[in-house]
Amino acid sequence: MALFSISGIRIAGMAACVPNTIYQNSDYKWISKKERELLIKTTGVKQRRLADDKTTTSDLCFTAAEKLIKDSGWNKEEIEILIFVSQSRDYPIPSTSCILQDRLKLSKKCLTLDINLGCSGYVYGLSVIASMMQCSGIKKGLLLVGDISTKHVSYRDKSAFPLFGDAGTATLIESSDDKAKIGFNLQTDGSGYDAIIIPEGGMRNHISLKSFEYKKISPGIYRHKIHLVLDGIKVFNFALSEVIPTINELLTSEKLTIEKIDYFILHQANLLINESLRKKLKLPKEKTPITIDKFGNTSCASIPLTIVSELNKQVRKEKLKFLLSGFGIGLSWGAVCIDLDSIICPELIEY
Amino acid sequence: MDINEFIKKIEEEFSDLEPGKLKPESKFREMFEWNSINALILIALVSTEYDITLNAEDITKSVTVQDIFNIIKSRITK
């Protein structure tokens, strides 16, 4: 069971960057006004940020990282690990993390790694960077997490288009003398790999001219094979059955209770999933901030984006106990229990 | 558990429904504009209230409110 803890590592700072273009879902003319209203009410997504055709995830992460490194006063030479978590890389190959090492002017002594995960990506990325730093003795690291998911979806697919938003984030990780532990619980169920999938364009189903032929799937849903497919009912049932036991197992192993956690940051999937999870876990609303209304589902960026957007002032001044939970594509999910103690956290950046 | 209680919960969740109009024998697809979002709302309601998972097949093969209720009941007593 991937239930473990790491000590001697802390989060030193967190920043998030979103494109400045706002898309209002009330303007989504592909479906009727009545359906739009029901969709906004159920998914909770009123508006979201859309990257233009020239902007990549790495651009958003780079901007967040530059600001954060400047505010922290860190010497770039000291950063010896960079991890980039995303499902929207600059190129099929090479890894985007290599490009970011150069662009950020980090030392050649820096190890870099791409991780291909979506909604669970922040929790997984944190576990990898913290583990590697702990066993290597590296003192300073940079975790860049984000996605431009809006380019993966068909405009004529009402089941996916109105849900997603774009964002990039940066988190500074450093070694610390503090005895506080970071507890992780990470899990996978690959039998649900097709619940969220882009079917063609990889090695299993090569890209061809046919890949771009639009097909009617059902009323209001037209897409081709390079578009993202989202099976709403499968994802909903997965989230409702797996996320809660994973959180409860982690709380038990960390000898914690819900009352002792200051904030629960759940991946912002959609309001129906998030509210169902919150009610079943019996979490108070004020401990469970929501940003799905402003940014939509921003994939792996949603957890740090929610902290930066909603709790910016608190995390700068106080020591707070967080439980972060990411879940989705893979199917992959995980939870982490971590303290944020007076971290550097600039206001949300617009690109 | 009682079907009238279940109907009451459905009426609270779907504000479009006129109270008292939904009956156990009602065909839920005809009661309001049925679509995939409404299916998800119903699944969420059943999951939160009864801790029972309904899948896509359960919804597809059900015609009336009673059909859905029977599935929930069979899983609770298991």
What CATH number is associated with residue A23? 3.40.47.10
The whole-angstrom separation of Cα A157 and Cα B33 is 19
Instruction: Say whether A237 and B35 touch across the interface (CB within 8 A).
Output: no
Give the pLDDT confidence of B41-70 residue by residue, as tens digits. 999 999 988 999 998 889 889 999 999 999
Instruction: Say whether B37 and A39 touch across the interface (CB within 8 A).
Output: yes
- Give the number of domains in chain A: 1
Instruction: Say whether A272 and B35 touch across the interface (CB within 8 A).
Output: no
Give the pLDDT confidence of A153-210 residue by residue, as tens digits. 999 999 999 999 999 999 999 999 888 899 999 999 999 999 999 999 999 999 999 9
Domain ranges of chain B: 3-15+23-75
Instruction: Say whether A241 and B53 touch across the interface (CB within 8 A).
Output: yes
| In contact, A335 and A126? CB cutoff 8 Å | no
Give the pLDDT confidence of A289-348 residue by residue, as tens digits. 999 999 999 999 999 999 999 999 999 999 999 999 999 999 999 999 999 999 999 999
The whole-angstrom separation of Cα A203 and Cα A212 is 17
Instruction: Quote the tokens at residue A23.
Output: 């898309």
With 90 as the cut, is the pLDDT of residue B18 above it? no
Residues of B in contact with A275 (CB under 8 A): 44
Residues of B in contact with A280 (CB under 8 A): 47-48, 51
Give long-range contacts, CB 8 A cutoff, 24+ apart: A216-224: A217/A157, A218/B36, A220/A30, A220/A31, A220/A35, A220/A156, A220/A157, A220/A158, A220/A159, A221/A156, A221/A157, A221/A158, A221/A159, A222/A154, A222/A156, A222/A157, A223/A153, A223/A154, A223/A156, A223/A157, A223/A160, A224/A154
| In contact, A199 and A94? CB cutoff 8 Å | no
With 70 as the cut, is the pLDDT of residue B78 above it? no
pLDDT at B16: 76
> Does residue B63 belong to the interface with chain A, where contact is any CB pair within 8 Å?
no
> Does residue B60 belong to the interface with chain A, where contact is any CB pair within 8 Å?
no
DSSP line for B23-76: -TT-BHHHHTT--HHHHHHHHHHHHHHH-----HHHHHH--BHHHHHHHHHHHH
Average pLDDT score over residue span A214-225: 94
State the residue range of the domain holding A296. 1-351
Give how far B72 is from chain A: nearest CA, Å. Answer: 15
Which of the four pLDDT bands, split at 50, 70 and 90, describes residue A263? very high
- For the B3-15+23-75 domain, the top CATH level (class) is mainly alpha
Average pLDDT score over residue span A83-102: 97
ipTM: 0.85
